[in-house]
Amino acid sequence: MIEYRIEADTAGMRLDKHLRKRLPNVPVSHLFKMIRTKKVRVNGKRAQPEQLLAEGDVLTIRGDADQLTADDRPKSDRPKPPPPPVDPSRLVILKEDDWLMAVDKPSGMAVHTGSGITGGTLVDYVRAYLGPKAVRNDFAASPAHRLDRETSGVILVAKRRPAMVHFTEVFTEGLSKKRYLTLVKGRMPKDSGVIDLPLSEHQQTAESKARRGVNMQEALTRWKVVKQSGDAALLSCSIETGRTHQIRRHLAAIGHPVAGDKKYGDFAFNRDVRARWGLKRLFLHAERIEFPHPDGGAKVAVEAPLPPELRDVLKRAALVP
């Protein structure tokens, strides 16, 4: 029999997920059978696969401890090799404590691995910087939200599982405030405005579309002119929803696409600002984020300065605030 107490960094994890991590050599089907047959108990009571574990819970697993914990997994189920080495000194840390990190992500760095991305992600740099402290009680430090690969600026990283649980609630419930700076095409019709325009779900599958049509999601972006020139404007934007590419899609929809946007932008305008002002990237920067701290809820605000290459563009465009 195995019995142990749940620690703070494991709190908030589903029981079935925790068991898969704790007993990686036991087939998933057998783990669920153990739960159904009451061989897994939490605080002496029958457990449910989906229940969330809390700090101080006593987990009891009935069975042969040696067999349950022996690492006889097939090679395909063993941990993957470590990612390629990166230089953690490149990481610009804006704030760090025992719960979180706020990092100034450069343009061009992906947050997570994905198609066509082999290494050098923000995750790789964060975990290289933290070293042995990157993993605590089976939780590896991870970004709590996303930024597009070509967007620069502040992004939060949860260093402990309770912090990730907290940030998931914060971003789901809209308890954070995010502010972005962006350069857009054209003269804005007024000093400020709101774009309240539903956006199609970005990662909806073809099967889902065929079954229930395109899923439209509520999306709201507020914008304010910081500086206006004849054919471009520097805007400060805040979002009340976190849809994929929301600011870029919203501004393009009202006829003021983001400069340097290769997906939703105006290609002639992009060529023009590259030739005239030297803009070689997407002009979108996550300037500030405000959120309640996971330890106590005190309000925290973190800002990332505008990168030098974007400041230079504003100087050439006579758009310095």
- Give the torsion through C-alpha atoms of 21, 137, 145, 295, to 10 deg: 140
Gyration radius of the chain's alpha carbons = 23
Q: For residue 245, what is the DSSP state?
A: T
CA angle 246, 251, 254 (to 5 degrees): 130
Rounded to an integer, what distance in angstroms lies between the CA atom of residue 92 and that of residue 89? 8
213 neighbors 200 (Cβ within 8 angstroms): no
Helices (H), the chain: 15-22, 28-36, 65-69, 122-130, 161-172, 206-212, 246-253, 267-277, 308-316
Q: Dihedrals φ, ψ of 9, to 5°?
A: -75, -10
Specify whether 266 is catalytic.
Answer: no
Q: For residue 100, what is the DSSP state?
A: E
Structure tokens at 297: 């809820």
Q: For residue 52, what is the DSSP state?
A: B
18 neighbors 53 (Cβ within 8 angstroms): yes
Contacts of 36 (CB under 8 A, 6+ apart): none
Residue among 148, 191, 231, 261 flagged as catalytic: 148
Rounded to an integer, what distance in angstroms lies between the CA atom of residue 197 and that of residue 195? 6
**Residues annotated catalytic, as ranges:** 148
